Amino acid sequence: GVKDYKLTYYTPEYETKDTDILAAFRVTPQLGVPPEEAGAAVAAESSTGTWTTVWTDGLTSLDRYKGRCYHIEPVPGDPDQYIC
């Protein structure tokens, strides 16, 4: 099946810390995919959301190391793209 990344990786209430590494991605969601889900998928696949289970999964804290999509803005002049 398809993973629902939004449940784990979209955290709009998240407040950044001084130790966080921040990145912004320009995202074009597929037709019918909400920008929150697309942004969360990028955060997941850029960090701990790989589809492959590896033996180290039990050794690390998902909440500590996972990527997060916490802010989304539409790209001015391009209604189909977002900065996440």
The pLDDT tens digits of the residues spanning 33-51 come to 999 999 999 998 888 776 5
Give the pLDDT score at 78. Answer: 96
- Sorting pLDDT into bands at 50, 70 and 90, what band is 56? low
Which residues lie across from 58 on neighbouring strands? none
Cβ atoms 9, 62 nearer than 8 A: no
Which pTM does this prediction carry?
Answer: 0.80
Q: Give the integer Cα–Cα distance in Å for 42 and 66.
A: 11
Cβ atoms 60, 1 nearer than 8 A: no
Q: Give the integer Cα–Cα distance in Å for 56 and 21.
A: 22
Give the pLDDT score at 32. Answer: 94
Give the pLDDT score at 22. Answer: 95
Domains and CATH numbers, the chain: 6-83 (3.30.70.150)
